[in-house]
Structure 1
């Protein structure tokens, strides 16, 4: 086991599966104490029942909830926000409510995390936000997702300047094999993954562990801030 996060407290906001779980596992492997927070505390307790992860409730669309979590936890060293509310659909199908929820979850929520947690963090602490490949790869049906992710990239750079020396970075995943794609059904999911694997330069789909490695790097590289790390297999290049 590496110890690059030994005796550090890492808050991971998101679900208890997929990328969020991979990040929690990777942080633990690096020696961290992990707190997992999300809206469904019951699901988180079930997901982490065989671990030493502490579970707390938070709703990123509610500033009071974020403030209460910060008050409850006190000082933390790193905050990772993986939560999203994807507003997928072509422009004719999008509702204002879906777009606003996407922004409130992935843009406004992390800003509020910074507002309430930065004053409690050490100078060598960090935030890791989540963008996504849609910000760089316009595709019909992903307009609101692209707009949200592009905003995350801007927020990352701005917070890096405003919160300095606390570091702020983002990770931008490409297509990752998480449960988010299971709704397609096995046949459609496998066909999509095969097509994307054939097209991207690394010739495979990403795993949650690929993304988690980048998050650990962002937390532990103390000379990097305001950066968006692409973990996308070169998807925007083709």
Structure 2
């Protein structure tokens, strides 16, 4: 796979960075995009094989400039996320929810549009949703709508953009910086409680999900599919 080129937008931390590392281990030339120059500098030290680009996934012109500089792209992975959108529907801040859509859903769309002219015919697009799109967890209606919108792109785009393959990955609870807003002791207690409810009895790591992301990106017989990598979260009730 040494002749393949991958672009991971949202690739400076969490699932995106873990996927970039796995693709690098496969021998691909891997480019990552992030908004934070500080994070890009940190990754340049820890993972010098990854080529970093500072750009906002929600800015089509910035992503277009990155893709133009890269040239042909075989595997596009969109790992954009955001920390907003959670809360009871009765008092959910709709401005916050709009920001959540801007950060994730619109970021996915603008990134796809900007990268399309550079995707190879045998290439792929892999989107990252979340299991909230298909479960009934109280307080998640907003974020469920965001992730549901992202995952709803997969099937129509798989047909529209063929032979380019389009897939999604739907993680459940994952120990990533997404949870950094919680105090460490609160996060650990919640993860311990959730692990007991999950059929796999553990909370996933970013690398667990990255393994599935790379499968979706590289397997030439998978398209139009959202792969659930949730540890069975959709099967049980997690408080």
- TM-score range normalised by the length of the shorter chain: over 0.9
Report which of the two has the higher share of strand: 2
Residues 60 and 104, structure 1, Cα contact 8 Å, conserved in 2: no
Q: Please point out which of 150, 153, 175 is paired with 1:152.
A: 150
Structure 1 runs (4+) deviating above 6 angstroms are none
- Residue 53 of structure 1 corresponds to which residue in structure 2? 50
- Residue 127 of structure 1 corresponds to which residue in structure 2? 125
Residues 13 and 81, structure 1, Cα contact 8 Å, conserved in 2: yes
- Residue 172 of structure 1 corresponds to which residue in structure 2? 170
Q: Please point out which of 71, 76, 88 is paired with 1:74.
A: 71
Whole-Å Cα distance in 1 between the matches of residues 103 and 194 of structure 2?
A: 27
Q: Structure 1: where are the runs of 5+ without partners?
A: none
Q: CA RMSD in A?
A: 1.5
Partner SS for 1:116: helix
| TM-score where L is the length of structure 1 | 0.92
Partner SS for 1:97: helix
- 1:15 to partner: Cα distance: 4.8
> After superposition, what is the alpha-carbon deviation per residue over 1:56-92, rounded to whole angstroms, capped at 9, x for unaligned?
1221222222222222222111111111123222223
Residues 88 and 138, structure 2, Cα contact 8 Å, conserved in 1: yes
Residues 90 and 142, structure 1, Cα contact 8 Å, conserved in 2: yes
- Residue 201 of structure 2 corresponds to which residue in structure 1? 203
Whole-Å Cα distance in 2 between the matches of residues 15 and 40 of structure 1?
A: 11
> After superposition, what is the alpha-carbon deviation per residue over 1:7-60, rounded to whole angstroms, capped at 9, x for unaligned?
211111115222121111111111111111011133212223242111112212
For the pair 1:35 / 2:25, whether they are aligned, the reply is no
Residues 198 and 204, structure 1, Cα contact 8 Å, conserved in 2: yes
Q: Structure 2: where are the runs of 5+ without partners?
A: none
Whole-Å Cα distance in 1 between the matches of residues 55 and 80 of structure 2?
A: 11
Residues 107 and 155, structure 1, Cα contact 8 Å, conserved in 2: no
In the superposition, relative to structure 1, how do residues 26 and 175 fare at CA in structure 2: closer, same or farther (>3 Å)?
Answer: same
Q: How many residues align?
A: 234
| TM-score where L is the length of structure 2 | 0.92
In the superposition, relative to structure 1, how do residues 179 and 110 fare at CA in structure 2: closer, same or farther (>3 Å)?
Answer: closer
> After superposition, what is the alpha-carbon deviation per residue over 1:195-236, rounded to whole angstroms, capped at 9, x for unaligned?
111111111110111101001101111111111111110111
In the superposition, relative to structure 1, how do residues 182 and 84 fare at CA in structure 2: closer, same or farther (>3 Å)?
Answer: closer
Residues 10 and 78, structure 1, Cα contact 8 Å, conserved in 2: yes
